[in-house]
């Protein structure tokens, strides 16, 4: 290939190279990662599963999870609730309260 052709190939491929968007992935909303665990049983985004948890207020969810932490003997959901700190429960509840 002649030098001129090589230059042309280079120039053309540079010109048509797709522009890589300079977007930085936005951080997911606080609590979403924690809440994704709930969706396995409660359905995607908190509905369509065992019990609908989408549409509840944050304070309702906090209250229910705190009660579950104390239930004895613990059932499945009570054991689950015991795994979260107060801070995590607040984050979870605030996120879940945004879902309908």
Instruction: Provide the 10 A C-beta neighbour count for residue 12.
Output: 10
User: Which lies closer to ligand HEC via its Cβ, residue 7 or residue 76?
Assistant: 76
What is d(CA 42, CA 51) in angstroms, rounded to the nearest whole number?
Answer: 6
User: Which lies closer to ligand HEC via its Cβ, residue 40 or residue 44?
Assistant: 40
Contacts with 99 (C-beta within 8 Å, 6 or more apart), sequence order: 45, 46, 47, 54, 55
User: Which lies closer to ligand HEC via its Cβ, residue 10 or residue 40?
Assistant: 40
- 88 and 32 Cβ atoms separated by less than 8 Å: no
Closest distance to ligand HEC from the beta carbon of 96 (Å) = 6
User: Which lies closer to ligand HEC via its Cβ, residue 11 or residue 75?
Assistant: 75
The contact set with ligand HEC (CB under 6 A) reads: 37-38, 40-42, 50-51, 53, 61, 64-65, 75-77, 80, 92
Measure the CA angle with vertex 33, ends 30 and 35; round to 5°.
95
Closest distance to ligand HEC from the beta carbon of 34 (Å) = 6
């Amino acid at each position: 290939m002649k030098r001129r052709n090589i230059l042309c190939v280079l120039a053309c491929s540079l010109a048509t190279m797709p522009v890589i968007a300079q977007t930085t992935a936005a951080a997911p909303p606080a609590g979403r990662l924690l809440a994704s665990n709930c969706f396995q049983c409660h359905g995607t985004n908190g509905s369509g599963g065992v019990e609908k948890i989408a549409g509840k207020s944050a304070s309702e969810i906090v209250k229910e999870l705190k009660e579950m932490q104390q239930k004895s003997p613990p059932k499945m959901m009570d054991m689950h609730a015991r795994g979260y700190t107060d801070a995590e429960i607040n984050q979870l509840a605030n996120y879940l309260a945004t879902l309908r």
